[in-house]
Structure 1
Amino acid sequence: MPGLAWPLETTTRVQEGFFSEEKRFAPDTLLILDFIESCYRSIAKPIQGSYHSFFRHHHLSFDPKAGREEFRGDVNRIFARNGIAYELEKDGQIIRLLPPVLEHDLSSGLFRTGDTTLDQMLEDSRLKFLNRDPKVRRESLERLWDCWERLKSLETPQNKKQSVIALLDKAADDPSFRKLLDDEARALTDIGNSFHIRHSEVTQSTVTDSCHIDYLFHRLFSMIQLLLKKRGLAP
């Protein structure tokens, strides 16, 4: 596999001026996950058969299903013991495990918002967020903020400002909580405009930290979910 040496390299020598130092080394995470998936597709459990007395060896057969199941169990055990948020599925694909607070709402891709375009946009965002590649997961924020802008125009398409007011009015009767939602709606819009999420100006900051991506996704998804539920159309 390109980029992966065998025997597996665990150290590398770094040259610094006249001196060199051996340091720990690990291949890129996505490359390792690709390698595990490749092994899963090719692995099979050897089954010892009858003994061949002349050549003095046993006949072997191979059980791919049993081999994959055992390999999958070993890999997932290693992931779990080391706190690595990935899981090897039965289809041979490695998925990223969701934060517990999001797992229930994002485990299935069935959205019924009353707007087919918004349904598809939410599903696009969900699939990107589940992706193990951090770059693709970052794109989930862009898509989710697009969902936010579309949702804000659903009540009164001709007047977005009035549409937002109507949407928030449906979500809360209590004045204090209504103000909280209004402040949060403004803050979320500002986040989308200030960071490299909806726009690409050089002055904007790019969100790269995986924990920050989880936080922002959860924050906006929770808001969207609340507004849709109060609108009578839960995602």
Structure 2
Amino acid sequence: MLYSERNGFRKNKEKTDKIERIAYKLLLDCCEKYKRNLTYQFPKKEYHSFTDKSYTTFDETNFINTLKLLIPDLYINEAGKVDLPSEENYNQLALIDYIEFFAQNIMDIRVTWNNSIYRNFEYIDCLSTKNIRDNFRDEINNIFNLAGLTFELTANGNIERINECCSFVDEIQKDIEKVNEDGLEKLLEEAVKLYKDPNPVSQKYAVEKLWDAFERLKTYYDANKRQSANKLVDSMATNNEYFLQIFSNEFHVLTKIGNECRIRHHEMDKIEISEEYYDYLFQRCISLIGLAIKYLDK
């Protein structure tokens, strides 16, 4: 930690989901550093005539051709190298795909010179271990943190969106797994997955899926939605009239939002939702659902 940060003189970096050009370049350079760890997927046999030896190296051409098919929106320059796009309006999701490709596929290697004195060429031995993935993940997440990006590369090699609410959502996920109703459990899992997706468009669909789960939750006990919801609210309130009123009002308000806003319904008279509201709506609804599922079948 540097002096200004350590002593509180540095302003907190504003969190963002926009990968600026400096961060883009740092992330590309990090991937480049680990490229030879993909040699087992892209091996190329070479022959060194002076030493009359064959050896394995990284096949850059095969690598680039594969990327063109796998991540077609990834910018590749005229020299056939993955590079920082020249235009400002670049596709940052392609970069996220690129990072995930490395995170999920790199393997440990051992690199040695053929001769410690003359160093004519290097041997690349591909190992069966994956320890290098932890180093790669740490470096990528460090760049995300330095750039103030709301992303995290997880241990399974996926990039997820993170914010202050995500730790709370992670806790709710543990309760979701215990829900004894497959349809509700599936809707909640899909909503959480979309909420953590780094694509900004996914937040809209996360809210839509969550409201679907909310409506299904209200029929957990009975096809009669009002009776079923009332039974759940009674259970949540635990005979406390004050909280009975609070939870009843919250169920009513969230139902009203779902009916009047363009979440589950898309008629012309529905109220449009600003992109800035999706986090708030998701967090408000998941908070109520997270509490409610603790009281199911009680």
Q: Same fold (TM over 0.5)?
A: yes
2:113 counterpart of 1:49: yes
- 8 Å CA contact 2:175–2:293 kept in 1: the answer is no
**Rounded Cα–Cα distance in structure 1 between residues aligned with 2:258 and 2:146:** 37
**Rounded Cα–Cα distance in structure 2 between residues aligned with 1:101 and 1:110:** 13
Relative distance call for 1:90 and 1:10 in structure 2 (3 A) is: same
Hey, what does 1:8 align to over in structure 2? 83
Give deviations 1:110-142, integer Å, cap 9, x for gaps.
Answer: 533332322222222222223222333322222
Map 1:102-117 onto structure 2 (within 5 A). 102-106=169-173, 108=174, 110-117=176-183
Relative distance call for 1:176 and 1:29 in structure 2 (3 A) is: same
- 8 Å CA contact 1:138–1:208 kept in 2: the answer is no
Hey, what does 1:221 align to over in structure 2? 286
Structure 1: gaps (5+ residues): 13-24
**Rounded Cα–Cα distance in structure 2 between residues aligned with 1:30 and 1:207:** 24
Hey, what does 1:27 align to over in structure 2? 90
Hey, what does 1:78 align to over in structure 2? 143
Structural RMSD (CA): 2.9
Map 1:172-191 onto structure 2 (within 5 A). 172=237, 173-191=239-257
Amino acid at match of 2:220: L
Relative distance call for 1:124 and 1:91 in structure 2 (3 A) is: closer
Amino acid at match of 1:122: L
CA deviation after TM superposition for structure 1 residue 218, in Å: 1.9
Relative distance call for 1:44 and 1:101 in structure 2 (3 A) is: same
Query: Alignment partner of 2:266: what SS?
Result: coil
Relative distance call for 1:105 and 1:156 in structure 2 (3 A) is: closer
Hey, what does 2:277 align to over in structure 1? 212
- 8 Å CA contact 1:45–1:66 kept in 2: the answer is no
Give deviations 1:139-159, integer Å, cap 9, x for gaps.
Answer: 2222221121122122332x3
**Rounded Cα–Cα distance in structure 2 between residues aligned with 1:90 and 1:185:** 37
| TM-score with structure 2 setting the length | 0.62
Q: Which has the higher strand share?
A: 1
Query: Alignment partner of 1:61: what SS?
Result: strand
2:209 counterpart of 1:143: yes
Hey, what does 1:18 align to over in structure 2? none
Aligned length: 217
**Rounded Cα–Cα distance in structure 2 between residues aligned with 1:102 and 1:134:** 18
- 8 Å CA contact 1:192–1:198 kept in 2: the answer is yes
**Rounded Cα–Cα distance in structure 2 between residues aligned with 1:139 and 1:178:** 30
**Rounded Cα–Cα distance in structure 1 between residues aligned with 2:220 and 2:133:** 48
Hey, what does 2:260 align to over in structure 1? 194
Query: Alignment partner of 1:229: what SS?
Result: coil
Query: Alignment partner of 1:70: what SS?
Result: helix
Query: Alignment partner of 1:134: what SS?
Result: coil
- 8 Å CA contact 1:49–1:61 kept in 2: the answer is no
**Rounded Cα–Cα distance in structure 2 between residues aligned with 1:109 and 1:169:** 20
Structure 2: gaps (5+ residues): 1-67
2:126 counterpart of 1:59: no
Hey, what does 2:14 align to over in structure 1? none
| TM-score with structure 1 setting the length | 0.76
CA deviation after TM superposition for structure 1 residue 10, in Å: 5.7
- 8 Å CA contact 1:9–1:26 kept in 2: the answer is no
**Rounded Cα–Cα distance in structure 2 between residues aligned with 1:175 and 1:109:** 26
- 8 Å CA contact 1:109–1:123 kept in 2: the answer is no
Query: Alignment partner of 2:112: what SS?
Result: strand
Query: Alignment partner of 1:95: what SS?
Result: strand
Give deviations 1:145-188, integer Å, cap 9, x for gaps.
Answer: 1121122122332x322222222122212222221212111110
